[in-house]
Every structure is written in C-alpha cells, then in structure tokens.
C-alpha cells in the first residue's frame, strides 16, 4: 500500500484554499493508501506565536481534520512537536542541504522580504518539511501548488543522500488537485489566499459564519464585463470564483459557464454562497461536536504513539547509515 504524508500549520483558521488544495485530497486518499496527517506546530513557530493561541489552533486543526472526514482508524493524526524524531532528522538533513538551495525558496523570499534579519528557522523550514515527509517513507504528498518547490527540494535531498549513503529514503511524489491547487485571494486574484492576509474578506475560513461568507463573496473582486467566463489572464477574479464553485460543487467549468450565460455576477455569487455554506455547514457541526471532547485528545495520543514508532524505525536506519550513535 502506498504511503501518504501531509501537514497543515496551526497558524489560524483553515481556509477554503487549504481545504480545496490539500485537505480534500487527504480524505480521498485515506480510502486507498496508508495515510499520516500531521499538525505541524514546529513549523508555525518560524514566525512569532502566542503560546495559548498556538495550542488552541493546534487543537482546532486536529478537530477540523476529523470534521472534514478523516477517520483515526484509517489515518494517523498527530502533533509534530510530540514526535521528536522530526527535529532530529531535520538536523541530519540540514547537514546535507546547501544554503544556496534554501536561498532560492520563494516562500522564504516572500516572508523575509523587507526584513533586515529573519529567524534561522524560517530559512531552514523546508528542511524540517523534508524530514516530516522522509521519516514516514512517504510515496505521495498531497499539497497545494505553493508547496511544490519544497517538495522538489525534499526529493533532491533524498536522492542526494541515497546516492551518497546507499538507499536510505523513499523519493516522494507531489499530488495536487486539478481544480483548487491554487485558490486566490478574494480581494486580489493575483495573490494566493492565505491565513495571514490582513483583510479577513480575502479568505473564507472553514469556521466562518454564513453571514461572513456571504459578505466576503459579495465583496469579492470581479471585473466590469459581467460575463461568467473562465479566463485566468483577462478575468482572474471571476475565474477564481468559478474554480471555487467547481471544486465545491463537482460541476465542470464548462457546465458552470453554460449555466450562467446571460446571468449577472449577483446571481452567480448568491449561488456560490449557497454552495459553500452547504459544504461547510456539516463540517462546522462535526467540529463543534468533537473540538472539546476527550476523544480528540485520545486520538492525538494514539496517533503520536503510532507515528513515533514508525519514525523511530526510519531514524535508526538513517543513523546507522550515517555512523551516528552506538
């Protein structure tokens, strides 16, 4: 059975970009593959976090994992900081990664832009991500398009070490969605939808109220020609909304265009609000049921044990290859 690993940072409410680009795949894959899904809290401290908020956000993400349909009997779900092997392997990989490679990472460039100095962890972040993936002998990594470059680096590191030390790691593959791999900000269709953007109407979070969802969609940037047509270059705002519509409803882009011939943006946006609400409503209900339950903690503790067991097997193999330990 193929092995899957992916993770989400607990840095705020998960938005529909995270859901359509990554989380939806998590659920699909657990039916056919051996899946490990992590809440990557060590990654989130690469930028300052309030400790109380961080713990709350970690549990929110864990509860959302379950609310979207992950099943702890099928998938391993755990917190990254509970399995020390991630940080340990990251160090070993860091010694086999070049500063030139890390300097080329676009996310680092974006996040450190206009800063005189950035935390070293922000720079070495992609190596921790490589450790996450390689620890579980991962074949498939379901992520959004923005993580592709990090995955390429992971592959390069794995291949480099395999060549130097003999077969040590499985070389993982990227898996992205056809529609939803890159959901754009609602207020600026040239920027990626992100958890950290200042304008809350730039995104729709999975825990938003129906009123907030309506407001964000109604305010979303379109254009002045009034045609519901998909054209990324000429109509990026409308194209983004059509993609979101398609990903949530399962309708093809062509069918959506045909359905709204002659309709205005108002009708289209109202329908989109309905579609998003009917997908998100049941997720919120399950979230509320599980978020403060003992079951959530039991699932995370069990996930931690199972993940740590697997991680230790890989880490021992790596240490043996590198001549580390007794």
Residues involved in catalysis? 111, 192, 195
Q: How far is the CB of 187 from ligand TYM (least distance, A)?
A: 13
Angle at 136 between CA 320 and CA 195, to 5 degrees: 130
Write the burial class of residue 71 (CB in 10 Å: 0-12 exposed, 13-18 middle, 19+ buried). Answer: middle
Q: Which residue is nearest to ligand TYM (CB)?
A: 21
13 binds ligand TYM per the rule CB under 6 A: no
**146 interacts with ligand TYM by CB under 6 A:** yes
Can you tell me the distance from the alpha carbon of 175 to that of 169, in angstroms, rounded to the nearest whole number?
18
Q: Count CB atoms within 10 A of the CB of residue 111.
A: 17
What single-letter DSSP state applies at residue 234?
T
Among 3, 24, 175, 182, contact with ligand TYM (rule: CB under 6 A): 182
Site for ligand TYM in 28-47 (CB under 6 A): 40, 43
C-alpha 263/C-alpha 226 separation (Å) is: 8
Q: Does the footprint of ligand TYM cover residue 132 (CB under 6 A)?
A: yes
Stretch that binds ligand TYM, among 180-188, 219-227, 272-280, 282-290 (CB under 6 A): 180-188
Cβ closer to ligand TYM: 11 or 222?
11
Binding-site size, ligand TYM (CB under 6 A): 25
Instruction: Tell me the HSE value of 102 on the side-chain side, using a 13 A CA sphere.
Output: 19
21 binding ligand TYM? (CB under 6 A): yes
Length of the chain: 326
Q: Is 303 in the site for ligand TYM (CB under 6 A)?
A: no
DSSP class of residue 200 equals G
24 lies in the site for ligand TYM, by CB under 6 A: no
- Does residue number 58 form part of the binding site for ligand TYM (CB under 6 A)? no
Out of 18, 30, 81, 124, the only residue in the binding site for ligand TYM (CB under 6 A) is 18
Count Cβ atoms below 10 Å from residue 324 Cβ, excluding itself: 12
Alpha-carbon gap, residue 22 to 234, rounded angstroms? 27
CB of 201 to ligand TYM, least distance (A): 15
Q: What's the burial of 32, exposed, middle or buried (CB within 10 Å: 0-12/13-18/19+)?
A: exposed
Q: Is 147 in the site for ligand TYM (CB under 6 A)?
A: yes
> Site residues (CB under 6 A) for ligand TYM?
5-9, 17-18, 21-22, 40, 43, 129, 132-133, 141, 143-144, 146-147, 150, 181-183, 192-193
């Amino acid at each position: 059975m193929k092995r899957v690993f992916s993770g989400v940072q607990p840095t705020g409410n998960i938005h529909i970009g995270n859901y359509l680009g990554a989380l939806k795949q998590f659920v699909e894959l657990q039916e056919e593959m051996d899946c490990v899904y992590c809440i990557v809290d060590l990654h989130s401290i690469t930028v300052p976090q309030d400790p109380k908020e961080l713990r709350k956000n970690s549990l929110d993400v864990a509860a959302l994992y379950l609310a979207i349909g992950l099943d702890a009997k099928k998938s391993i779900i755990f917190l990254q900081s509970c399995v020390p092997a991630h940080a340990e392997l990251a160090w070993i990989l860091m010694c086999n990664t070049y500063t030139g490679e890390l300097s080329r990472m676009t996310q680092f460039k974006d996040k450190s832009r206009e800063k005189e100095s950035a935390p070293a962890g922000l720079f070495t972040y992609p190596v921790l991500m490589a450790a996450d993936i390689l620890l579980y002998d991962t074949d498939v990594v379901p992520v959004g398009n923005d993580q592709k470059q990090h995955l390429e680096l992971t592959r390069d590191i794995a291949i480099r070490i395999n060549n130097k030390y003999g077969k040590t790691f499985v070389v993982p593959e990227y898996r992205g969605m056809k529609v939803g791999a890159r959901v754009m900000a609602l207020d600026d269709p040239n920027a990626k939808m992100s958890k950290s953007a200042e304008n809350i109407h730039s995104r729709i979070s999975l825990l938003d109220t129906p009123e907030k969802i309506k407001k964000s969609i109604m305010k979303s940037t379109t254009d002045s020609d009034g045609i519901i047509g998909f054209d990324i270059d000429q109509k990026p705002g409308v194209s983004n909304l059509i993609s979101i519509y398609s990903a949530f409803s399962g309708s093809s882009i062509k069918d959506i265009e045909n359905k709204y011939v002659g309709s205005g943006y108002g009708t289209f946006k109202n329908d989109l609000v309905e579609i998003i609400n009917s997908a998100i409503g049941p997720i919120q209900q399950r979230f509320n049921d599980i978020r403060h339950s003992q079951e959530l903690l039991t699932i995370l503790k069990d996930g931690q044990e199972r993940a740590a067991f697997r991680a230790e097997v890989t880490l021992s193999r790596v240490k043996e290859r590198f001549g580390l330990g007794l």
